[in-house]
């Protein structure tokens, strides 16, 4: 089954960046403790070296120094502390700004990738993922299957029962498609009531199993969730990628087989290599 966006978000860039920021702040706190300790040791060591008679007497620690000198040391410590605190605050502000910008960019990218209605990948993500899968399939000489899915009678559902009911049906169909594939596969809303299923590393027998599973689950859903007297089914066009063919050619071949299935009533037998 395709990864749920909530799980992706839980393990995704937002949480990783937040964890890294928390980790960084914890490390900086530990570093400050070490710096203060080392500074105190160095100051005492310097005083012991420069004015031993003012600190050590009969092997006992005894601090003796003019009040002006003590006041000067205190002022230097205060000025240095204020400088370091201001510098730390400015660095923290810059880190937070950078974090916000990174999260905003990640959120914008994620929003463009996911179709808000059906919770599957949007068409804007199609080229990137399909070209990547084609390149991987050709490089590893592994099969790649694509299924174009178009809902039958969807226009009747919209016209008779309204667009809210149509949106409900689309979301249900997207859920069925996601439940029929593996986490390594992709379900993409191609447009309207059309979905594209990309089956990575899948040969013809495996793709046929997925295709049959989709048909079976949609039929089961229609029996128990019939919208009035309007049956809902799907026309599926399955193709296998042929070496050297582009993403556009592969999608066009799947689309052509889907339309052949819809008009010829051969949903259970439409399969072939792209371009065949």
**Are 255 and 150 within 8 A, CB to CB?**
no
Mean pLDDT of 197-219: 95
pLDDT in tens, 140-176: 999 999 999 999 989 999 999 999 999 999 999 999 9
Q: What confidence score (pLDDT) does residue 272 get?
A: 47
Q: What confidence score (pLDDT) does residue 200 get?
A: 94
Q: What confidence score (pLDDT) does residue 271 get?
A: 42
pLDDT of 209 strictly over 90: yes
pLDDT in tens, 177-207: 999 999 899 999 998 999 999 999 999 999 9
Rounded to the nearest integer, the mean pLDDT of the chain is 77
**Mapped to the 3 state alphabet, what secondary structure does the chain carry?**
CCCCHHHHHHCCHHHHHHHHHHHHHHHHHHHHHHHHHHHHHHHHHHHHHHCHHHCEECCEECCCCCHHHHHHHHHHHHHHHHHHHHHHHHHHHHHHHHHHHHHHHHHHHHHHHECCCCCCECHHHHHHHHHHHHHHHHHHCCCEEEEEEEEECHHHHHHHHCHHHHHHHHHHHHHHHHHCCCCCCEEEEEECCEEEEEEECCCHHHHHHHHHHHHHHHHHHHHHCCECCECCEEEEEEEECCCCCCHHHHHHHHHHHHHHHHHHCCCCCCCCECCC
Mean pLDDT of 109-122: 80
- Please report how many Cα atoms fall inside a 13 Å half-sphere around the Cα of residue 72, on the Cβ side: 5
Q: What pTM was computed for the model?
A: 0.60
Q: Which of 9-13, 218-222, 272-276 bottoms out in mean pLDDT, i.e. has the lowest?
A: 9-13
Q: What confidence score (pLDDT) does residue 3 get?
A: 43
**Residue 45 — pLDDT band, cuts 50, 70, 90?**
low
pLDDT in tens, 22-44: 655 555 555 565 566 556 656 65
Q: What confidence score (pLDDT) does residue 187 get?
A: 95
pLDDT in tens, 80-112: 766 776 777 677 777 767 766 666 655 555 556
């Amino acid at each position: 089954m395709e990864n749920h966006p909530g799980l992706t978000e839980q393990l995704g860039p937002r949480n990783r960046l937040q964890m890294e920021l928390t980790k960084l702040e914890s490390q900086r706190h530990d570093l400050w403790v070490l710096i203060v300790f080392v500074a105190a040791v160095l100051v005492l060591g310097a005083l012991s070296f420069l004015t031993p008679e003012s600190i050590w007497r009969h092997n006992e620690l005894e601090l003796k120094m003019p009040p002006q000198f003590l006041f000067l040391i205190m002022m230097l410590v205060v000025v240095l502390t204020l400088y370091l605190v201001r510098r730390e605050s400015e660095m923290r502000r810059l880190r937070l700004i950078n974090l916000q910008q990174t999260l905003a960019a990640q959120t914008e990218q994620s929003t463009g990738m996911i179709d808000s209605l059906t919770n599957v990948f949007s068409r804007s993500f199609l080229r990137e993922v399909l070209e990547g899968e084609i390149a991987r399939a050709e490089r590893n000489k592994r099969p790649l299957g694509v299924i174009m899915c178009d809902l039958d009678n969807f226009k009747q559902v919209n016209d008779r029962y309204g667009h809210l009911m149509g949106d409900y049906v689309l979301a249900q169909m997207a859920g069925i498609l996601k439940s029929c594939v593996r986490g390594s596969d992709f379900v993409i809303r191609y447009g309207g009531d059309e979905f594209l299923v990309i089956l990575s590393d899948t040969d013809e027998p495996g793709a046929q199993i997925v295709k049959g599973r989709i048909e079976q689950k949609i039929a089961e859903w229609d029996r128990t969730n019939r919208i009035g007297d309007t049956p809902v089914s799907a026309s599926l066009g399955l193709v296998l990628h042929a070496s050297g063919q582009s993403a556009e050619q592969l999608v066009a071949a799947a689309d052509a087989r889907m339309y052949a299935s819809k008009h010829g009533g051969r949903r259970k037998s439409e399969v072939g290599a792209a371009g065949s």
